[in-house]
Structure 1
Amino acid sequence: MRYSPNHKLETKEKLLESSSVSAKKSGFATVGVDGLMKAIGLSGGAFYSHFSSKDELFAAIVERELCQSLARLGGHGEQDCARLERCLKHYLSMAHVEQPESGCALPALGAEIARSDILVRQQAEIWICRLQESWARILDSDSLAWAILSQCIGALVVARMLATADIQRTVLQSSQEEIGRQIAGRQQAICK
């Protein structure tokens, strides 16, 4: 059977997509190469025609996911504080808590990224810094951008750790309110 010229690229993309979903939902370390390949209908041996190691796949997942987060949350110069607040409200939502596989990789994979080799952490740093820089331009404050980025990720991690939906909602709502106050305070300072 002949494969299309794009078959290898298409298979690699399927593997990245499937592995990203699996990693955000259950953790990257929990599934072996055979399991990752089985999820897309291939044998474990085929993995090595796409990646030299599982670590290389993880680095590719981190880059892919954080690039997507930047596209969703970072804006492209036309974003203002009101749009940023809307993005953050969506980020700090129960849907994001309940469906980690379809959301930002940082709350789901942050601990695994922190335990990874230096190359993975450097890759994550590049994309996290790009997101922070985007928010810093909007907010006109490097430190506020870092604080809000950290609070968003932390709030989602804490909410996911909790068992009671009402308490999860309280964590998210409290974070939304505090971030809203921080942004409003920054806007007032700029306008003076």
Structure 2
Amino acid sequence: MRYSAGHKLETKEKLLQSSALSAKRSGFSTVGVDGLMKAIGLSGAAFYSHFSSKDALFAAIVERELGQSLERLGGQGTQDRERLERCLKQYLSMAHVEQPESGCAIPALGAEIARSENGVREQAELWIGRLQQSWAQTLGSDSLAWAILSQCVGALVVARMLASTDMQKNVLGASHGEISRRIAAQFAE
């Protein structure tokens, strides 16, 4: 039975969405092709009509998820200081710690991206560079934008590693406080 081009695109979109959620929640390497396809109600054999390999799917997930992270955190063009501070507050929140599947892909997929082929890492570099540039425009400093981006990602990774909610909140609060002081100092100059 032949499916329409629209059906194929819908299926590919479902596979991307489902696989991205699974990857951000549990890691990409933990689920095989059969499991990824079963999650959307199809057999593993149908996978290869959408992607040439599991690595190709991961590359598409990285591009999609980092693009969405850029939209949420950097927006299009420049942003103002207040918007950046609201983004940072949401980023360094318990909701983001507890729901990795609905948040930024960088802390959730970073280790797997680092172990990926060069093309995936180049794609990640492109999107992370765009986010850093967006923040650098707002902050007026390339190095401060890199430092804040790195601290945000690191704080989220550390908070997710901890078992105690109180310790998680301490990590997030300390990081948010330090970042806020650095931003205030940058604009006071």
Partner of 2:92: 92
- Which amino acid is 1:188 matched to? A
Instruction: Identify which range, 70-79 or 168-177, moves more after superposition.
Output: 70-79
What residue number does 2:20 align with? Answer: 20
TM-score by length of structure 1 reads: 0.96
Match of residue 41 from structure 1: 41
Q: CA deviation at 1:79?
A: 1.6
Preserved contact between residue 79 and residue 134 of structure 2 (Cα < 8 Å): no
1:64 corresponds to 2:26:
no
Over the aligned positions, Cα root-mean-square deviation in angstroms equals: 1.0
Matched position secondary structure for 2:3? coil
Secondary structure of 1:6's counterpart equals helix
* 5+ long unaligned stretches in structure 1: none
Give the share of equivalent positions with the same residue, in percent. 77
- The answer to whether the aligner puts 1:136 opposite 2:124 as a matched pair is no
In structure 1, the residue matched to 2:170 is 170
* Aligned equivalents of 1:145, 1:23: Cα separation in 2: 27
Counterpart amino acid of residue 58 in structure 1: F
2:74 is equivalent to residue 74 of structure 1: yes
Code of the aligned partner of 2:21: V
Whole-angstrom distance in 1 between the partners of 2:138 and 2:78: 9
Aligned mates of 2:130, 2:76 — CA distance in 1: 11
Q: Give the 3-state SS of the residue equivalent to 1:31 in structure 2.
A: coil
TM-superposed CA distance for 1:3, in Å, is 3.5
CA distance in 2, matches of 1:30, 1:5: 30
Question: Deviations for 1:58-109, whole angstroms, at most 9, x for unmatched residues?
Answer: 0000000000000000022352111101101000000000000110111111
Q: Give the whole-Å Cα distance in 1 for the aligned partners of 2:160 and 2:5.
A: 42
Hey, which bits of structure 1, 4+ residues long, moved more than 3 A?
1-5
Unaligned 5+ runs, structure 2: none
Whether the 8 Å contact between 2:96 and 2:103 is mirrored in structure 1 is yes
Q: Are the counterparts in 1 of residues 74 and 134 from structure 2 also a CA contact under 8 Å?
A: yes
Counterpart residue identity of residue 97, structure 1:
V
Residues 1:159 and 2:159 aligned together: yes
Distance 1:55 1:76 in 2: 29
CA distance in 1, matches of 2:33, 2:2: 25
TM-score (ref. length: structure 2): 0.98
Confirm or deny: 8 A CA contact 2:16 2:57 kept in the other structure.
yes
- How far apart, in 2, do the equivalents of 1:113 and 1:17 lie? 18
Worse-superposed segment, 1-10 or 171-180: 1-10
For 2:111, the equivalent position in structure 1 comes to: 111
- Aligned length in residues: 189
- What is the SS of the residue equivalent to 1:77? coil
SS at match of 2:150: helix
Change (3 A) 1:94 1:80: same
